[in-house]
Chain A
Amino acid sequence: MNNNLFKILFQFIGLILLQVIVFDNVHLFGYVNPYIYIAWVLLYPLKSERGLFLFLSFLLGLCIDFFSNSGGINAASLLLIAYLRLPLLTSLLRKVDLDFLLFHVSSMPFVKLLTYISILVFSHHIVLFSLEYFSFSNIGIIVKHTFLSGIFTIVLLFISIQLFSPRK
């Protein structure tokens, strides 16, 4: 239990620093930025208390907001996908596959994993950019940024899951 707590704390701080120090400075083609801290939602153990998970996700997003002076946009979008995680997983996988205790994203079949990550990333990005631009007249830019940054984030998340998942 203690071990798990340290792991979660380490992930929390590690993802914040990784995002604000490294990935906020990528600026591919001038504006495309990956939002790697979404990995939080993928990595957090499924079996634990859901209320605590929602609260920690909100807190993580808010920490990113503190660093990037952006109000509450990261908190709102990360909280949304944290809430969507369980319903999405139960609808993607059959009930029997969803072994709550031992579940890890890397054990999902490829197509389902791709769908799972894509839905989370795109719903996160569309909320994030809508709140950042905060006007309907910029809908074109919002969609463009969501799409380009989303693809970048999905690719990075995929690579990191393949690299850092525990070997069977």
Chain B
Amino acid sequence: MQQIIYFLRKYRYFLLFVILELIALVFTIQSHSFHKSKFVNSATSITGGVYSQVSNINDFFTLKQENKVLSEENNRLKNKLNQYRQEDYISTVIDSLSILTKYNYTAAKIIKNDFRKVNNFITINKGSTSGLQSDMGVINTKGIIGIVKNVSNNYATVLSILNSYSKLNVRLKNSNYFGTLTWDGTDYNTVQLVDIPRQANLSIGDTIITGGRSAIFPEGIMVGVIQDFQFEGTKFNEINIRLFNDMSALGYVQIIENTQRKEQQLLEEQTTNE
């Protein structure tokens, strides 16, 4: 007994060091698996508060650019509205509850944006009080941004598409071939497309959009264009996609809530269990 106490006294700093180091490693390993909910994230009120103060100041410098983006979007939407009017698209609807309710959009502001690391996260200034939940899609006017991960009362973190654990279902706009969008961690303007079947007809400049197979994103949200690809043996080796978004300069985003997501997932679960 005496010896154990002596041992503990002699090596107490080393033991403290080992214990704390192990805790840090547990946090690290947790952060590398997407499905475990993370304890260390920037959606807390302190970190979120600091970032939103900083972004309040930074906003003054990007007002002009933000204005331009908004007016472009306004323009685009007005044109679309005109088109629909001409087509007499909005005709009488019998049950007004059943239309336009599959996807709800919530606007939010990015208060912290990472794009330099290999696993990047974005922090936004809306949380569960605005109806946000984990696994909602995040987009902006130019295209796809990521998926909501951790949510606190007033803030949420977003798993950016610039994250080595991000895997999204996308497809070619001009044909129905589906693939998976990943990122290799090198250039923040290009992402990689994998799992495209070899018979797909690709050419440089083809547009990539979201596939709509997951219950997170609706179909047809812009992603990017094919920058280059290699054909190795019998399969596509690496297809580089140039994003429409400049991921280093993001401002306002929309969060997509799929109101029928639970229903779809429940159905899919039942089908696999039988």
Contact = CB atoms under 8 A, between A and B. Distances in A.
A69 B20 contact: no
B240 interface: no
Contact of A55 (B20, B24, B47): B20
A93 B14 CA distance: 22
Given A51-B12, A67-B47, A76 B42 contact: no
B24 A69 contact: no
A133 B118 contact: yes
Contacts of A69: 31, 38, 40-42, 114, 119, 121, 123, 157
Contacts, number: 103
Contacts of B38: 69, 71
A38 interface: no
Q: Looking at B31, B50, B121, which has the most chain A CB atoms within 10 Å of its CB?
A: B31
A73 interface: yes
Interface string A144-166: 00000000000000000000000
Given A20-B50, A33-B116, A72 B17 contact: no
Interface string B1-44: 00000000000111011001101111111111000001011101
A72 B47 contact: no
Interface stretch (A3-11, A57-65, A117-125): A57-65
Contacts of B114: 68-69
B121 A72 contact: no
A71 B27 contact: yes
A73 B27 CA distance: 8
B40 A76 contact: no
Interface in B113-155: 114, 116-119, 121, 123
Contacts of A65: 27, 40
B24 A75 contact: yes
Given A30-B116, A62-B24, A132-B117, A71 B29 contact: yes
Contacts of B47: 66-67
A54 B42 contact: no
A107 interface: no
Contact of B20 (A58, A131, A132): A58
Interface string B221-255: 00000000000000000000000000000000000
Chain B contact residues: helix, strand, loop or mixed? helix
A21 interface: yes
Interface string A1-33: 000000000000000010011000001001101
Interface residues of A, number: 34
A80 interface: yes
B116 A79 contact: no
B28 A51 contact: no
A131 B28 contact: yes
A12 B122 CA distance: 25
A103 interface: no
A23 B117 CA distance: 14
A54 B20 contact: yes
Given A51-B12, A51-B13, A21 B54 contact: yes
A50 interface: yes
Contacts of B25: 72, 76, 131
Interface of A: 17, 20-21, 27, 30-31, 33, 50-51, 54-55, 58, 61-62, 65-73, 75-76, 79-80, 83, 131-134, 138, 141
Interface of B: 12-14, 16-17, 20-21, 23-32, 38, 40-42, 44, 46-47, 50-51, 54, 112, 114, 116-119, 121, 123, 157, 185
13 contacts: A27-B116, A54-B13, A54-B16, A62-B24, A67-B47, A69-B157, A70-B31, A70-B119, A72-B23, A72-B28, A75-B23, A131-B25, A138-B185
